[in-house]
Chain A
Amino acid sequence: MSEVLLQASGLRLAFGGVKAADGIDLGVMKGEFLAIIGPNGAGKTTFINMTTGYLRPNAGEISYEGQRITGMSPRAIVKRGIARSFQLPQLFLEHTVEQNVALAVASRDGIWSPLTPLLRPGYRDEARDLLERFGLTGIADTRADALNEGARKLADIAMAVALKPRLLLMDEPTSGVAASEKMDVVETLARVLREAKVTAVFVEHDMDVVERFADRVAVWSQGRIAALGPPGEVLSDPAVQREVIGIERHA
């Protein structure tokens, strides 16, 4: 776990007078699960957006596997092995869950085959296998616009995993998931990612989830990293407890 997979250095980005990133320096180690916590508006999603090419930083640099990716398009970045899931699931609403995942599987080949079906054996089998691992087999034929929020969230992550990334960034993967199912969902997710040897960065508000699944925690505050380290150490820090966890618990 000592090899740096993603390195952000001196990232700065402001929206008007609001500093969403104010000198972010962060190295993500290969194979780790890194949780990002912090109050709303601290710049957590902005970091994911910058890393995946949706936003371009005003200053600073992001490198992945030793190569600079700052300012690249989302398409170019995903082709290098970085995928993301979204806080608000981004599913193709008029497609079934199976079609959604199969389309993500097919996109690895560039989707430029106009005459062979999407649900041909290769793509369909891989999609079904993935749906089974995520426990979504029962809703494979359900249209995405008919799903509950928790299922949408999982399907959204399954689509990102279908891209076979080496680094997966997840924006609040458990929000919208019923409290009673949350640990099972994260357990499933963690197992799938470990099996696939995917490094994961996830924004999370549930400290129990963070404590149980994160190898390290980065605490975001006003566009800066206020603390970084193992969950046991960071979450027991009185300043973090007062300024972040207190807010989270009351949020």
Chain B
Amino acid sequence: MRKIEPILAILVAAAMIVAAIAAPWLRFVLTIALAKGIAVMGILLLLRAGQVSFGHALYIAFGAYTVAFLAPRFGDAMILLPLAALGAGVLGLLIGLFVTRYRQIFFGMLNLAMAMVFYSLLEKLYAITKGSDGIRVEIMPIAGQALERVTYEWTIFGIALGLAFVLGFLLRLYLASPMGEALAGIKTRETRLEFMGVPARGVLLSAYVMSAVLGGIGGALIAMTSRHVTPLLSYWTSSGELVFIAILGGAGGVLGPFLGAAAYELVRVYAAASFADAWQMILGSVLLLVILFAPGGLWGMAARAIGGRGR
């Protein structure tokens, strides 16, 4: 299955490009899906260690606001993206030093608390953040090139797709490495790691920082695409959305987050357009069906269809 995954990734990417060309409005939806997919890879990392974060929207919001705050000063996407990733990584390190002391529900809820503290700051510090009005992000140059709106949107889509590939590839290598396998070991036998001389907390912390970086990159891409950031990016429902996508896509492979994010965004858009009052119920029903009948998520279903294992 591992060998088929890159081919599937190329096919999914090709389908996304075709869809974005055929229906230009889908370009926006798919760029957001790619950005969320990148962030959900961070959730997948923590799931490997058996930990669920209910507060990872914090890093998406941090990355998005980094872009919003710094765009007037460093107005280039190629500078802002690494800055958002770096900032989210540093924040992830500071928070991770605290939350990686805890496991299971305590880990999840502490992350939720951190995200909600950030949400409140974004809401209340109106003079800096413009509160719930949010901050508008102007179209910015990319690698020194000032671009037209359509070209800009295509370029951001291309950057998101390229980053999804590169980061997904790196994550695959990581998960199969001693460090990634030790991370998975935390889920079943953390004590054994310590008796092998491996600092389990250090392994989890490094994964946590990586997941924060992925969140920061996702958030920066969302800000560059939607061009408007609000505190809602850090609200608990946004964190729940990331976990939702992770379960929908399946945690068995790095393609799962992107399948999940694309399906989630498409169902949301179509359900919201067709059943304005009931789209959340439709999304809830989709998740329920996945949990009941396809616990491996969309990736697990794809793996089964091809004849391999989800992991």
Contact = CB atoms under 8 A, between A and B. Distances in A.
Contacts of B307: none
Contacts of B176: 117-119
A113 interface: yes
A74 B198 CA distance: 10
Contacts of A119: 176
Nearest to A156: B192
A115 B167 CA distance: 12
Contact of B182 (A79, A91, A111): A111
Contact-residue bracket for chain A: 20 to 34
Nearest to B199: A75
A116 interface: yes
Interface string B189-210: 1011111111100010000000
Interface of B: 170, 173-174, 176-182, 184-185, 187-189, 191-199, 203
26 contacts: A52-B195, A75-B194, A75-B197, A78-B195, A79-B197, A90-B189, A90-B191, A91-B189, A91-B192, A92-B188, A92-B192, A95-B188, A107-B193, A107-B198, A108-B197, A110-B197, A111-B179, A114-B173, A114-B180, A115-B173, A115-B174, A115-B177, A118-B176, A118-B177, A119-B176, A159-B192
4 tightest Cβ-Cβ pairs between the two chains A and B? A106-B178, A111-B178, A90-B192, A107-B196
Nearest to A108: B197
Interface in A68-123: 73-75, 78-79, 83-84, 90-95, 99, 103-104, 106-119, 123
A157 interface: no
A163 interface: yes
B178 A107 contact: yes
Task: Decide if the interface of chain B is mainly helix, strand, loop or mixed.
Answer: helix
Contacts of A78: 195-197
B195 A90 contact: yes
Nearest to B170: A115
Interface of A: 52, 73-75, 78-79, 83-84, 90-95, 99, 103-104, 106-119, 123, 159, 163
Contacts of B198: 75, 107, 110-111
Nearest to A106: B178
A38 B187 CA distance: 34
A108 B198 CA distance: 9
Contacts of B195: 52, 74, 78, 83-84, 90
B246 to A, nearest CB: 17
A112 B199 CA distance: 10
Nearest to A163: B196
A92 B184 contact: yes
Contacts of A93: 188-189
Contacts of A110: 197-198
B252 to A, nearest CB: 11
B200 to A, nearest CB: 9
B1 to A, nearest CB: 15
B188 A104 contact: no
